[in-house]
Structure 1
Amino acid sequence: MNTKQIGDNGENRAVEYLISNGFAIIERNWRTKGGEVDIIAFKNDTIVFVEVKTLPNGTIDMIQRELNYQKRQRIIKTSKRFLLKHRQYSNSYIRFDVIVIDMPGLEPVYHIENAFTE
């Protein structure tokens, strides 16, 4: 599998995980000129913007590098654009999660709630 296929497979597994844990999937790969959010989900009055990282050879340091300040800011900026376009979620709580797929030493689907904040 190439990198895109590995990433797509990881996102599919993350969606399955979220659905099995009671989340409704609102969007996948929601894009603007400035960025993309892998998964936008909703559960218990909370809209969750999820970044998925498939890292079969990854480490904690790699996650930190992949989710550097600029990447987090792009996700936050993109999420704000989503909320401006979808006002029905304006009274919802907002959370930024990360789901790590297949990283050695972690569960196959590892969910980090509130991974970062604005």
Structure 2
Amino acid sequence: MKKKTGHYGEQLSRKYFINKGYLILNSNYRTRLGEIDIIAQKDDTIIFVEVKTRKTMTFGLAREAVNYKKQVTLIKLAEQYIQYKKLKNMNFRFDVMEVQWNENKNQYEINHIENAF
């Protein structure tokens, strides 16, 4: 169930970025260190995106799950990606997508936090 929720949130987030004029470069970029949910580009900026989807507030706000340890991992993954793709003359940022999903009503709300850390 958790995987389904996360997958749905990532799908909604990709659609959100495409509608805003971003180019999706990678989804679920994975190395032995971990995974970046979405890597997108807008103009000369590469955006590394962590998507957090919640159905309830039981465990707090979705963005609170992107703690310091998770941020450090994402930064290391981004550094690997930048070196692997030999990206030069680009700007980089880390965004968090909070997706609050009410499955019963089939409604969702997206909070896009730019430059989250």
Determine the C-alpha separation between the residues in 1 that align with 2:30 and 2:68: 19
Alpha-carbon distance, 1:103 to partner:
6.3
Distance (whole Å) between structure 1 residues aligned to residue 17 and residue 50 of structure 2: 12
* Separation (CA, whole Å) in 2 of partners of 1:68 and 1:43: 25
Alpha-carbon separation, structure 1, partners of 2:22 and 2:55: 25
How many Å separate the matches in 2 of 1:13 and 1:45? 24
Count of residue pairs brought into register by the alignment: 110
Task: Supply the AA of the counterpart residue of 1:93.
Answer: N
Q: Give the equivalent residue in structure 2 for 1:25.
A: 24
**TM-score computed with the length of structure 1 as normaliser:** 0.87
CA distance in 2, matches of 1:93, 1:63: 23
| Counterpart Cα distance in 2 of 1:13 and 1:81 | 26
Q: What do you get for the CA RMSD once the two structures are aligned?
A: 1.5
Name stretches of at least 5 consecutive residues in structure 1 with no aligned partner: none
Q: Is the 8 A contact 2:5 2:54 kept in 1?
A: no
**TM-score (normalizing by structure 2):** 0.88
Over residues 5-62 of structure 1, what are the superposed CA-to-partner deviations in whole Å (9 max), with x where a residue is unaligned? 11001000000000000000000000111111000000020000000000121333x5
2:50–2:96 CA contact under 8 A, matched in 1: yes
Query: What runs of 5+ residues in structure 2 fail to find an aligned partner?
Result: 103-107
Q: Where do 4+ consecutive residues of structure 1 move more than 4 Å?
A: none
